[in-house]
Structure 1
Amino acid sequence: IATLGAIVYPIFRFMSPPQVIESTENSVVAAKLNEVPVNSGKIFKFGNKPGILVRTSAGELKALSAVCTHLECIVQYRPGTKQIW
């Protein structure tokens, strides 16, 4: 029985998601307007997750998740190509 437990327990721990407390915040001050020049981006924290605030060439502010959907890395804004990468 101990051998079975030694095999099953690590598999169970690997398959079950970690218990992370989700933030209850629904708003946050990402930056002051003068901290984000036109055609630039700034990483900020939204609870326990990173976000990216982008100020477009037209001066619009857009806030998005900064977590890449492909590899779950943190993305950056590239002003030369005007892309989040």
Structure 2
Amino acid sequence: MSSEEVWNYVHKKYSFVFLISGIIVALMAAIVMIGAFLSKSINNLNNIYWLAILFITVLLLLFVIAIGFCANNDAKSYFLMKEEKQ
């Protein structure tokens, strides 16, 4: 980031990404815990649990990458706007 002001702007504006990512990671942990409880061992989990974790992980990565691009473009435009005002 170009300055502390831009850094703070982007992190404040995109804080929902951290919230949603945390919820998704908690969901993934819950899936593993439920599967382990139902199968009596984490080593005996059905493939559906692992496929669900894999699918959610891919969605999480795509979500974070897409938001990262948006945040980067937003930071650039915010920085350029701040420089034009000066």
Normalization by structure 2: what TM-score?
0.22
Normalization by structure 1: what TM-score?
0.22
Which structure shows the bigger proportion of residues in strand conformation? 1
- Which is bigger in relative contact order (C-alpha 8 A, separation at least 6)? 2
Which structure shows the bigger proportion of residues in helix conformation? 2
